[in-house]
Amino acid sequence: SRMSSTIADVLGLSKEAREKIEHAAAIHDIGKIGIDERILKKQGPLTDEEFSDMKQHPEIGTSIVQSVPLLEDAIPVILHHHERYDGNGYPAGLKGAAIPLNARIVIVADAVDAMMRARPYRGSLPMEKVLSELRDNAGTQFDPAIVDIILKDKVSLK
């Protein structure tokens, strides 16, 4: 969530906007509490059915927080953090600037965090591989302007 706030700072967003992004980033996966633990902890690839279940977590998370006025600013991030810049994400298939900015920021920061953390099925990726993945997926999975901020070393990945 700190990386999301730092990216927002580089983009020139206000302190209040940065705080909202940081808070949203911290709870963006809250919907996973509604997903079967066996799916969440599975060591190998998910089956189509398991992936279909997993794809429900953004909407589950949205339904959890929408009744809490204090958290309403987090809804666009919770709902859209699995969208892709090319429109091939979920749940809405939003594309480019149609994806809320806060979600586009968290999408990149979350991917970096996931790549840098060891998983049950793989170790953490080396920094060069993380940067290569960002570069290779800018414009398809990720907003290229946000990737550019990281590639130009304006955000520390440590």
What average pLDDT does range 49-55 have in this prediction? Answer: 97
Task: Tell me what percent of the residues of the chain surpass a pLDDT of 90.
Answer: 85
What's the rounded mean pLDDT across residues 134-149? 97
DSSP sequence for the chain? -HHHHHHHHHTT--HHHHHHHHHHHHHTTGGGGGS-HHHHT-SSPPPHHHHHHHTTHHHHHHHHHTT-GGGGGGHHHHHHTT--TTS--SSS---GGGS-HHHHHHHHHHHHHHHHS-BTTB-PPPHHHHHHHHHHHBTTTB-HHHHHHHHTT-S---
Mean pLDDT over residues 110-130, rounded?
88
Domains by residue range for the chain, with CATH:
2-151 (1.10.3210.10)
Mean pLDDT for all residues in the chain: 94
For 39-48, the pLDDT digits (tens) are 999 988 899 9
Asked if the model's pLDDT at residue 34 lies above 70, the reply is yes
Looking at the DSSP bridge assignments, the partners of residue 122 are: 119
